[in-house]
């Protein structure tokens, strides 16, 4: 009798499991997209860092940093100085280093997609930053706000010139946006 009951329960569990709807798990992603413009008047370095901060301006996480900058360029105080000052990159773990470091982006459309779960980016409001080095001490800092929660949303960044606009070239990037996909 016990054997029949156990067999019956086993069959019920199997059937119940087979009748469950198969749902594709959605992954929360943060996309940072931009267009890198060609500048004939100067030869920019195109060194780039992308990071998040919390609304109180506390640094949270580097999402991307170009190779040269990640392998020691961060010690040069004129290259992406805002990121270098906040990121403490010389103390980063190997896992974070490997996850964020990549080749210097080429001219044209660029789209970086970050899985929020894999990158341990919890639900919340953030400021996103993209800093790009032109030449000498000239940098451009693009920033905006994005909410990683609920509905999909998008934000366009505003530019700040560090220390000022380059006299021969500015807006090395255009169409700088962050988009959250739930």
pLDDT digits (tens, 9 = 90+) for 33-74: 999 999 989 999 999 999 999 999 999 999 999 999 999 999
- Which single residue is written with the structure tokens 């959250």? 180
CA–CA separation, 16 and 32 (whole Å): 42
Domain range enclosing 75: 25-181
Q: Give CA–CA dist 127/51, Å, rounded.
A: 8
Q: Quick check: is 125 in a domain?
A: yes
Q: Is residue 7 part of a domain?
A: no
Q: What is the pTM of this model?
A: 0.84
For residue 73, tell me if it sits in a domain.
yes
| Tokens coding 121 | 């980016």
pLDDT band at 120 (very low <50, low <70, confident <90, very high): very high
Q: Is residue 3 part of a domain?
A: no
User: Residue 15's pLDDT is what?
Assistant: 46
| Residue-level pLDDT at 27 | 82
Q: Is 5's pLDDT higher than 90?
A: no
- Can you give the C-alpha Rg of the chain in angstroms? 22
> Residue 155 CA to chain centroid, in angstroms?
13
Which residues have a Cβ under 8 Å from the Cβ of 161 and sit 6 or more positions away? 138, 139, 140, 141, 170
User: Which residues, other chains included, contact 88 with Cβ-Cβ below 8 Å and sequence gap of 6+?
Assistant: none
Q: Is residue 18 in a domain?
A: no
Report CA-CA distances (Å) from 44 to 21, 99, 145.
53, 25, 27
Indicate whether 134 belongs to any domain: yes
Is residue 142 over pLDDT 90?
yes
Specify the number of domains making up the chain: 1
Joined tokens for residue 130: 């993209």
Domain-embedded: residue 9: no
Q: Is 15 inside a domain boundary?
A: no
Q: What is the residue whose two structure tokens read 């992308």?
A: 50
| E strands in the chain | 29-36, 48-53, 59-66, 101-102, 108-115, 124-133, 139-148, 153-156, 158-162, 173-181
């Amino acid at each position: 009798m016990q054997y029949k009951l156990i067999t019956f329960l086993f069959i019920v569990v199997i059937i119940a499991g087979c009748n469950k709807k198969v749902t594709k798990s959605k992954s929360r992603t943060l996309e940072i997209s931009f267009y890198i413009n060609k500048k004939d008047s100067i030869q920019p370095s195109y060194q780039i860092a992308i990071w998040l901060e919390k609304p109180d301006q506390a640094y949270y996480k580097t999402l991307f940093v170009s190779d040269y900058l990640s392998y020691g360029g961060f010690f040069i105080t004129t290259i992406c100085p805002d990121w270098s000052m906040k990121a403490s990159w010389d103390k980063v773990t190997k896992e974070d280093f490997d996850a964020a470091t990549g080749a210097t982006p080429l001219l044209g459309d660029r789209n970086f997609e970050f899985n929020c779960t894999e990158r341990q980016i919890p639900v919340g409001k953030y400021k996103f930053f993209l800093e790009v080095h032109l030449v000498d001490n000239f940098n451009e800092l693009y920033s905006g706000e994005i909410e990683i929660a609920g509905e999909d949303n998008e934000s366009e960044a505003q530019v700040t010139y560090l220390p000022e606009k380059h006299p021969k070239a500015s807006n090395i990037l255009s169409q700088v946006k962050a988009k959250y996909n739930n």
